[in-house]
Chain A
């Protein structure tokens, strides 16, 4: 019995170790890639994502950039984290990690139910995924990586996903009802309604990207300025002059606001807007009418068959 248990324990620990490796290794790989690919440079270094690879493709060449690689690494990390937290679940919570996992699931389901209602309870997984991915992407700049959310292509991809969801939800009331929605309140408003329809993904993408990117740019500018200032003030001193003393610590205080607070805030806001837009676009009346019609047709068919 004890022999068996010890064997299971060893296997359990081995799996745990593998999962922790799955959490950490992608990020380490990204750091190594970044160190290998960063060109030597002096002064202000503000640029978008580095391009690792250019693949020839019909039409336009396919670019594999830092933001893509990093976001896949972060997805792997998130997967590892989820697997680690749910590894060895028991019916009654015994371990710390199970309590944490249950807390996360409960919070997400509560948030989605409070904001979207019973009908959309299944969306809690999507919302949790968006929130976790966005928060972890924004926080990844704390370990020196390029935050994927600082690239407009990444956030635009998410925003297009949200746009598709909103359109799908609107189509639940029938295609005619969806097209009629563009002519509210009078048909003259059709172009305006088209613009407002497409401004949703644009504004969502730019809000998230703008917050993260502007934080990164301001942080880079200030740390460079502090380096220059310390060279100006202390440059005459023999040994101390060569170390950018003012650049130590001060940029970290800004990073607490720009990277940690702003990043987490934007993750929450992106998830919140997703919830509100999806649940707000559901055509309740048209859907009920359609359900009634369907039920009536079914009844008629049944009556005809009898």
Chain B
């Protein structure tokens, strides 16, 4: 029984670590969106009359650039809220099969 508890603990801990690692994916969109906004600011400064067009294009591009970060976020959320349930079920089945 102790070993099962240990396995459960390792599983939960690794799920948390995995979620943390998955959220590293947020770096890319952060840099990319920052660059997009910087370029948009520059464009507005150069051509203030095109503010509306630049802003809408920038928001659209930002939302698309966000996607890769969101993949990481989905994986993180699934690892914290969904995966432990599935994995503990698998673990229990394995333990029962071994007995």
Residues of A within 8 A of B (CB): 46-47, 203, 206-207, 209-211, 213-214, 217, 265-266, 268-269, 272-273
In the bound complex, how far is the Cα of B74 from the Cα of A47, in angstroms? 14
Say yes or no: B70 contacts A210, CB within 8 Å: yes
Chain B, Cβ-Cβ closest to A268: B60
Which among B64, B67, B71, B81 has the greatest number of chain A C-beta atoms within 10 A?
A: B67
Say yes or no: A207 contacts B60, CB within 8 Å: no
In the bound complex, how far is the Cα of B43 from the Cα of A168, in angstroms? 39
Interface majority SS (helix, strand, loop, mixed), chain A: helix
Interface flags for B28-72 (1: CB within 8 Å of A; 0: not) read: 000000000000000000000000000000011001101100110
Say yes or no: B59 contacts A265, CB within 8 Å: yes
**Of A46, A210, A265, A273, which one neighbours B74 at CB under 8 angstroms?**
A210
Known: A47-B81, A213-B77, A266-B63. 6 other contacts (CB 8 A): A46-B81, A203-B67, A211-B66, A214-B77, A217-B77, A269-B60
Residues of B within 8 A of A (CB): 59-60, 63-64, 66-67, 70-71, 73-74, 77, 81
Chain B residues within 8 Å of A203, by CB: 67
In the bound complex, how far is the Cα of B63 from the Cα of A268, in angstroms? 10
Say yes or no: A214 contacts B74, CB within 8 Å: yes
Chain B residues within 8 Å of A269, by CB: 60, 63-64
In the bound complex, how far is the Cα of B98 from the Cα of A124, in angstroms? 60
Chain A, Cβ-Cβ closest to B74: A210
Chain A residues within 8 Å of B73, by CB: 210, 214
Chain B residues within 8 Å of A46, by CB: 81
Chain A residues within 8 Å of B63, by CB: 211, 265-266, 269
Chain A residues within 8 Å of B60, by CB: 268-269, 272
Say yes or no: A206 contacts B77, CB within 8 Å: no
In the complex, what's the smallest C-beta–C-beta distance from B19 to chain A, in angstroms?
A: 12
Say yes or no: B64 contacts A214, CB within 8 Å: no
Closest 6 CB pairs of A and B: A210-B70, A207-B67, A210-B74, A214-B73, A269-B63, A46-B81
In the bound complex, how far is the Cα of B70 from the Cα of A31, in angstroms? 29
**Of B59, B67, B74, which one neighbours A213 at CB under 8 angstroms?**
B74
* Residues A214 and B81 in contact in the complex (CB < 8 Å), given A265-B63, A269-B60, A272-B60: no
